Amino acid sequence: MRKTFISTMAVAGASALVLAGCSSSDEGKVADDTTAGASGGDGTSEVITVGFAQTGAESGWRSANTESMQNAFSEDNGFDLVFNAADNDPAAQISAVRNFINQGVDAIVIAPVVEDGWDDVLQEAKDAGIPVVLEDRTVSASDDLYESWVGLDFHAEGVKAGEWAAEEFGDTPTNMVVLEGTTGSAPANERAAGFDEAIAGTAIETIDSQTGDFTRDGGKSVMEGYIANYGLDGIDLVYAHNDDMGLGAIEAIEAAGGTPGEDIKIVTIDAVKDGMQALVDGKINYIVECNPMLGELAAQIVKDVLAGTEVEKTYYVEDQTFTQEQAAEVIDERPY
Ligand code: GZL
Ligand code: ZN
């Protein structure tokens, strides 16, 4: 599948600059707020009612993503946003989407907790004539059941984290423990796969891998278990699928008398403010960014879909990577 990359600057900027890589006619197409979004199709700007089924409030990343979505799907932008956070519960999220269908919203946006289980309710939305746009995580359902998806390349994030670990530890026998994201979620699946590909052939051994559900408490309690099982000396590296679990691991390592970032190296994914601060403080060693500022683009895609304008099936937002030195240079100017 050809990928359309959106530069981080454009995503964070006032209008979503869509760098469509798929056809010359779309090259550099700039979609902005003036694009007619009226579902009435008569060009008048009626309010667009959007049901947004958010994953939950599990991490700093999620808070930044929710803020980005609420800012973009604002009254000033012509939206009436019906917001639901599913508290990381896939069944609750699916019933929230069913409620949106029953309410007869104009469009539905979903940040799916897990990949599977979406076929039926997406078919119901399609049968009801309500377009669905996915943001952030992906689903395993057929892509004719949703209009478009905007998010991050989780697999590439895992590869970048693994490449750093391979570079850092290479042929030194290294005991690694993994703090996995929510079981069944696209980022957990893809970040694990990408990382394992990147460390293939190195002397890094995964001695344990469990889910901390993307939460700080989850990361802390799983790390406490690892320390109890293997001892601080038995662990050289922590790979946490997000900053929040890495921050929990830091608490557990310090409580056991260890020095995170030195005795035990830590690599995480997200680059939210607290994670970047720990990186600057030397408690995390490397962070791969996962940009949560998806609201502008998601809102533009919804307007385009309702106006009958063609949209891409996938929009990838680009990520960066940060060493401790790079984090110190940029931390004060980052939007999240
Ligand atoms: C990734 C997103 C993940 C973040 C976590 O796009 O789905 O969920 O990496 C968040 O912090 O909980
Ligand atoms: Zn791969």
Residues with CB under 6 A from ligand 1: 58-59, 61-62, 136-137, 152, 187, 214, 242, 244, 269-270, 290
Pick the ligand that lies closest to the CA of residue 290. 1
Pick the ligand that lies closest to the CA of residue 215. 1
Domain membership of residue 326 (yes or no) is no
Pick the ligand that lies closest to the CA of residue 159. 2
Residues 189 and 71 reside in one and the same domain = no
pLDDT at 170: 76
Domain membership of residue 324 (yes or no) is no
Instruction: Give this prediction's pTM.
Output: 0.89
Q: Considering its fold, how many domains does the chain have in total?
A: 2
Residues 23 and 141 reside in one and the same domain = yes
Residues 144 and 278 reside in one and the same domain = no
Q: What is the CATH number for 58?
A: 3.40.50.2300
Residues 43 and 115 reside in one and the same domain = yes
Q: Indicate which atom in ligand 1 lies nearest the CA of residue 136.
A: 6
Residues 204 and 267 reside in one and the same domain = yes
Single-letter code of the amino acid located at 179: L
Mutate to test the pocket of ligand 1, among 62, 113, 160 (most ligand atoms within 8 A of CB): 62
pLDDT at 45: 67
| 126 CB burial (10 A radius; 0-12, 13-18, 19+) | middle
For residue 65, report the distance from its CA to the centre of ligand 1, in Å: 9
Q: Render pLDDT for 13-67 as a digit per residue (tens, 0 to 9).
A: 433 334 333 333 333 333 333 444 444 444 456 999 999 999 999 999 999 999 9
For residue 139, report the distance from its CA to the centre of ligand 2, in Å: 18
Q: Cα-atom radius of gyration of the chain, to the nearest Å?
A: 21
Residues 281 and 302 reside in one and the same domain = no
pLDDT at 256: 98
Domain membership of residue 278 (yes or no) is yes
For residue 288, report the distance from its CA to the centre of ligand 2, in Å: 17
For residue 194, report the distance from its CA to the centre of ligand 2, in Å: 5
Residues 172 and 283 reside in one and the same domain = yes
For residue 163, report the distance from its CA to the centre of ligand 2, in Å: 12
- Measured between alpha carbons, how far is 239 from 195 in angstroms, rounded to an integer? 9
Domain membership of residue 330 (yes or no) is no
Residues 113 and 172 reside in one and the same domain = no
CB 327 within 8 A of CB 287: yes
As given in the structure block, the two tokens for residue 331 are 């931390």
Residue from 45, 22, 44, 49 nearest 109 by CA: 49
Residues 136 and 171 reside in one and the same domain = no
Q: Indicate which atom in ligand 1 lies nearest the CA of residue 186.
A: 7
Domain membership of residue 109 (yes or no) is yes
Residues 240 and 142 reside in one and the same domain = no
Residues of the chain under the 50 pLDDT cut: 1, 12-43
For residue 214, report the distance from its CA to the centre of ligand 2, in Å: 22
Pick the ligand that lies closest to the CA of residue 197. 2
Identify the domain containing residue 57 by its residue range.
Answer: 4-152+291-319
Domain membership of residue 251 (yes or no) is yes
Residues 198 and 311 reside in one and the same domain = no
Domain membership of residue 77 (yes or no) is yes
Domain membership of residue 328 (yes or no) is no
Residues 142 and 164 reside in one and the same domain = no
Residue from 192, 241, 193 nearest 216 by CA: 241
